[in-house]
Copies of this chain bind each other. A is one copy, B any other.
Amino acid sequence: MSARERLVESARELLWERGYVGTSPKTIQQRAEAGQGSMYHHFAGKEELARAAIDRTAEEMRAAVDAQLSGPGAAVERIAAYLRRERDVLRGCPVGRLTQDPDVIGTPALREPVEETFAWLRARLAAVVQEGVERGELEPSVDPASTAAAIVATLQGGYVLARAAGAPEPFDQAIAGILALLNARTVS
C-alpha cells in the first residue's frame, strides 16, 4: 500500500474506534507508519484526510447495502436479510457513530457525506417498502418513507443499546421487534 492508502485506511479505523475528536494527526501517522511530511504532502490536514476516509467508508457501505436490497425475494425478506446480516454489533456503524462527534457535525465538509449516506439509505429502503406495497406483499396503508425511517433508526439505535449493554443481545432484540411489527403488515 502507498503511504496515501495507509493514511486513509488508518484514518478510517481510528474514526470508527475513537471518532474524529478523539483522533490526532499524530495517531493517524503512527498507525499508518507515515511521517508528518507524508501526510501533509497528500492532504491539507486532518479534515481533508478524514473526508477521504469517510467518503470511502460511506461508498463501501452503500455498495454492500445495495447488493443486499437489490436481491430477489419479497420486500420484507430482503429487509430482514439486510437487518440480520452478520455485523460486528459492538463496534457500531462506522457512519452512524460520526453523528455523535461534535466536530464532524460542526464541520460541513465532514457532515456532508454522513448526511448523504443516510438520505440515500432511507430512500433505498423506502423504495423496497414501496415495491412491497405495489406488489401486494404489504398492506396498502404502509407508508414507505416513515417505515423506512423507522427501520434505519432501529438499526442505528440497536447499536446504541448493544454498546450500552456491552453485548449484542439488545440489538438482536430490537431487530426482532421491528421485523415482527413489519411482518404483521404483510398480506397473507
Contacts and interface: CB of A to CB of B under 8 A. Distances in A.
Interface in A125-164: 139, 141-143, 145-161, 163-164
A17 B97 contact: no
Interface in A152-188: 152-161, 163-166, 170-171, 173-178, 180-182, 184-185
Contacts of A164: 96, 99, 111, 114-115, 117-119
A63 B117 CA distance: 36
Interface stretch (A18-26, A30-38, A39-47): A18-26
Secondary structure of the A side of the interface? helix
Given A102-B17, A143-B177, A184-B184, A118 B161 contact: yes
B146 A177 contact: yes
B21 A19 contact: yes
A51 interface: no
A76 interface: no
Contacts of A150: 154, 173-178, 181
A74 interface: no
A122 interface: yes
B111 A166 contact: yes
A145 B166 contact: no
A149 B163 contact: no
Nearest to A178: B150
10 closest pairs, A vs B, by CB? A150-B177, A153-B157, A157-B157, A156-B157, A146-B177, A153-B174, A100-B100, A149-B173, A181-B181, A21-B22
